[in-house]
Structure 1
Amino acid sequence: MAIELGQPVPDFSAPATGDTTITLSELRGKQVVIYFYPKASTPGCTTEGGDFRDRKTAFDAANTVVIGVSRDGLRAQENFKAKQDFNFALISDKDETVCQLFDVIKLKKMYGKEHLGIERSTFLIDQDGKLAQEWRGVKVPGHVDEVLSAAQALNSQ
């Protein structure tokens, strides 16, 4: 069952870069952007991560934490973060716990073959832990600016 807008997002803990564990409930009092991407170090995911990186100061000013999530292992996530100089945590969700929570695993087609993979999606959670906005089937160009505008608007309410 997918999380619905205006409803509390169930708490979760997941391994993340920097030898940390991210627990959603520990971020209460801040807004949280969780964005799901298909695979570390691929062109679209690199561009999207770079857009979040380049706007981190603005997200910070809007009291918003950015977290990236994919099914890549921690080593791949660490390499991706270091190579792209990302200034936010990346969660390794190999067992798909967080992906299932947000219902982002979808049947995809690549080169005529079907496989299950992450649908590029972004979620904005308010300071009280409720889902404020979601974007599914995201196209990268301009997306991060849209998320930032939503975070700024939510923070000023």
Structure 2
Amino acid sequence: MIDQAVTDFSRPATGGQEFRLSEQRGSALVLYFYPKDSTPGCTTEASDFRDLHDEFASAGCRIAGVSRDSLKSHENFKAKLELPFPLLSDVDESLCGQFDVIKMKSMYGKACRGIERSTFVIDAEGVLRREWRGVKTAGHAAQVLDFVKSL
């Protein structure tokens, strides 16, 4: 999928908005998928992207987070962390399926389906330029920013 155009999609987003990929043209986009609002790793990841938001914006890049949580959950998570970017709700897993991020995981010794923490950089023309899968949160946002600056 790298170096190929990403198929347009639309998802409900925080702030009562509808997020449409085609409307992001002209700016690069970091689309990061995370398992669940208000969990420790997801809080760290969102906070790191928040803290670097101005640098991403200066590099001509937008950020959006995606999980299967409801918009209500997203609104609470966004407000609590004061996130300056939208969170997209993918309750039906259609966007997760498009990016193939649903995996079998182990939680407390039981197998369950969940989102594999993954990040995608889509350039200003809508072409996928880089992906990270199985992300560890420590230092990840800075690594993504370094890549974005190289575009």
Q: Same fold (TM over 0.5)?
A: yes
Counterpart residue identity of residue 132, structure 1: R
- Which string of whole-angstrom CA distances, capped at 9 and with x for unpartnered residues, describes residues 122-151 of structure 1? 000011100000000000000000000000
Match of 2:59 in 1: 62
Task: Determine which of 87, 98, 101 is the counterpart of 2:95.
Answer: 98
Counterpart residue identity of residue 143, structure 1: H
Match of 2:71 in 1: 74
Match of 2:129 in 1: 132
TM-score (norm 2): 0.99
Counterpart residue identity of residue 149, structure 1: D
Runs of 4+ in 1 over 6 A off after TM superposition: none
Distance 1:43 1:50 in 2: 11
Match of 1:47 in 2: 44
Counterpart residue identity of residue 6, structure 2: V
SS of 2:135's equivalent in the other structure is coil
RMSD: 0.4
TM-score (norm 1): 0.95
Match of 1:121 in 2: 118
SS of 2:145's equivalent in the other structure is helix
Q: Tell me how many residue pairs correspond in the alignment.
A: 151
The percentage of aligned residue pairs carrying the same residue is 56
Task: Determine which of 16, 21, 27 is the counterpart of 2:18.
Answer: 21
Which consecutive unaligned segments of at least 5 residues does structure 1 have?
Answer: none
Distance 1:36 1:152 in 2: 21
Match of 1:83 in 2: 80
Match of 1:145 in 2: 142
Which consecutive unaligned segments of at least 5 residues does structure 2 have?
Answer: none
Distance 1:149 1:52 in 2: 13
SS of 2:15's equivalent in the other structure is coil
SS of 1:6's equivalent in the other structure is coil
